Each structure stands twice: as structure tokens, then as C-alpha cells.
Amino acid sequence: MHDIVDLRSDTLTLPTPEMREAMARAEVGDDVWEEDPTVKRLEAMAAERLGTEAGLYVASGTLGNLASVVSHTRAGQEVVLDLDSHIFNYEVAGSTVIGNVQMRPVKTARGFLTPEQVREALRPPNIHVPPTGLVCLENTHNRHGGTCCTPEEIEAVAAVAHGAGVPVHLDGARLFNAAVALRRSASDFARHVDSVTFCVSKGLGAPVGSVVCGSRDFIARARRVRKMVGGGMRQAGVIAAAGVVALERMVDRLAEDHANARRLAEGLAKLPRLRVDLASVQTNIVIFGVEHPEGPGAAQAATTGLVTGCAARKVKVHAIGPASIRCVTHKDVDADDIERALEAFGELASK
């Protein structure tokens, strides 16, 4: 049990003692010169795990997605992606600003594009419209509550895109959560896409960074984009060392986070005025709605009350919308913390 139960995000994890030790003794060099041995080790490990030719260590998932989109496209093209995707909602329009590409968001049921939706969104060869340059997927899906799409679903979408000569990028910030939840290897999810990113700084517990994986030619282009936007790091092995430990030690334990999220969701579902879709709770994210008989305004006020009330009880949660709250489990939240959170919500929801 911890003094404060912080369920706002899995980005809040603290490095393990083993990570701190590895960081302290990391062998380093200049990564822009491609001479940092620890960074090169992490990149090689990531590429091997995902079954790709090469990897590139970057400061964040946002930078990984930016480098990927810009590397796959040319100015004036269009990117097909989900309306609720992280790239479209939370990356400050970076791909549009830096890559000069237009986004074409598509509303989906679970956060995942279907083959039919991709087929409909692909642009015809017409002088009046931007050609489709890329299709982006997200797995697990943040705004849809950590839902997973299977490797077979990815394959079906990629087949349509590739049939039209369009590459596919997978934003796999929490890819290893999907792999653990569905009991598949990470490489199964990457097999049919042209690039993939994953974060070591979320559920895997490292303090900084993500890895972009793909072909050697693609990674060479992405490395240039990383440098262009100021993302070239020098003795980055100091932080990459924690990423190595994350891949070696922290993947299998993600199942504990999933079990804690399930316990939290089931407890919340029993409370008055809280609406939880238990079918969407597949990994470590729980998103639930707040209802009130007096309507949306009252529901929004109740949501604010839940957030502030929980904080007063040393339980931190995040309002993801006017009447919805997101909770994310991670290595620094244990089973006792989940019970404390449920106790706090129970006291507040019953008022």
C-alpha cells in the first residue's frame, strides 16, 4: 500500500532500483554519432522483440509517431486514422505542422479501423484530392479504455492499405499490454505493419523514452527526422539503460496491472451513478461515465466532485471528459491501493 494512490496515468511510474543501478553504471557514447552502446543494445532488443530489422530510441511516443508519419509520407498527402486516436487528439498537430500532411479521422466503434472503413477512406487518383499516404492504427487504444485489437485485425486492415500501395504505422504505446492481455508475442502485432512505436515509459516503468521499429531504410529516414526536430540525444545510454531493464524484467508483470484494473472496474460498476463498460476493460485502463438525474451540467459537477473528493482522500484520478473519469493501473499501484480507491469512490458516490 502506498501513501498516495495515483491512478491518473501509467506515465507516473517510478524507475525500479534495478533500473536506477543500470542507469548509474551505463556505458555511454554519443548517440547522434550512433556510438552509444547502451542505446544500440536497447534498439537491437526492441527490433528483435518486434521482429523488425532495426529500432530507433526516441524521447517520447509522440516523437516516435511524428518521425514515423513524416518518414512514410510526403507533403500534400493524407493520413487515415481513428477519430479518437492519440496522434489526432494529443500530439499538437505535429504531423500536419512538420510533415505538411492532412489528417482524415474516421469514427470507429472500438477505436480500430475496419478493412471496410480503410477501403472507403482511400482516396481515388483524382487531381482534386490529396492522395492517401499512410494509415495509422493504435493498440492498445487510450481513449477507448485500453482496448486491444488482434494481430488478425491488424493484418486485415494492412492488406487493404498495402493493396493500394499505402504503408501502415502502428502506434503501440502500450503494445506490450495488448500482447500480455491476448497472450500473443509482440512480433505478432508488428508483422503486417511497416512501422511501430512502443513506450518503455508507461507500464514498463522506465523513466524516459520510446522505440520506433521498422526496416533499416525506414529507421534511417526516421533518424533524420528525429535530428531535424531536435530529438537527437548525446549520452542517452544513461536513460536507455532503464529501457533495457524494462524489456528484460517488466513485461510479464503487466498482467498484475490488468487484474487490478479488472477489480477496480468491477467495484466501480456496483456503485450508484457510475457507468462502466466491463467489456472494454481488457488491459490497465478503466474509463467510466458519471451520471446524474438532473442532467449533463449536474453530471459534470459530480465528476469534478469525484476528482477533488478522491484527491482529498489521497487517491488521484483524471477527468477525461465533462462526465467521465479515467483510471490507469501500473506497477506503483497494488491490490490494497485498489481497495482504497474503491472505498473513496464508494463514500463519494453514495452522497
Q: pLDDT tens per residue, the chain (351 residues)?
A: 689 999 999 999 999 999 999 999 999 999 999 999 999 999 999 999 999 999 999 999 999 999 999 999 999 999 999 999 999 999 999 999 999 999 999 999 999 999 999 999 999 999 999 999 999 999 999 999 999 999 999 999 999 999 999 999 999 999 999 999 999 999 999 999 999 999 999 999 999 999 999 999 999 999 999 999 999 999 999 999 999 999 999 999 999 999 999 999 999 999 999 999 999 999 999 999 998 888 888 889 989 999 999 999 999 999 999 999 999 999 999 999 999 999 999 999 877
- Residue 79 contacts residue 106 (beta carbons within 8 Å): no
Q: Can you point out the beta strands (E) in the chain? A: 5-6, 54-58, 78-82, 102-106, 132-138, 168-171, 195-199, 210-214, 274-276, 285-290, 315-316, 318-321, 324-328
Q: Do residue 43 and residue 84 come from a single domain?
A: yes
What is the rounded CA–CA span in Å between residue 200 and residue 222? 18
3-state secondary structure of 12: helix
Q: Examine the domain organization and report whether 148 and 244 are in the same domain.
A: yes
Owner of C-alpha cell 521482429 = 51
Of 249, 268, 285, which residue constitutes the final position of a domain? 249
Number of compact structural domains in the chain:
2
Could you tell me if 209 and 182 lie in one domain? yes
Q: Mutual orientation of helices 254-268 and 175-182 as an angle, nearest 10°?
A: 80
Residue 32 domain boundaries: 17-249
The three three-digit cell numbers of residue 162, written as one number: 498495402
158, 168 in Cβ contact below 8 A? yes
For position 287, which CATH number holds?
3.90.1150.10
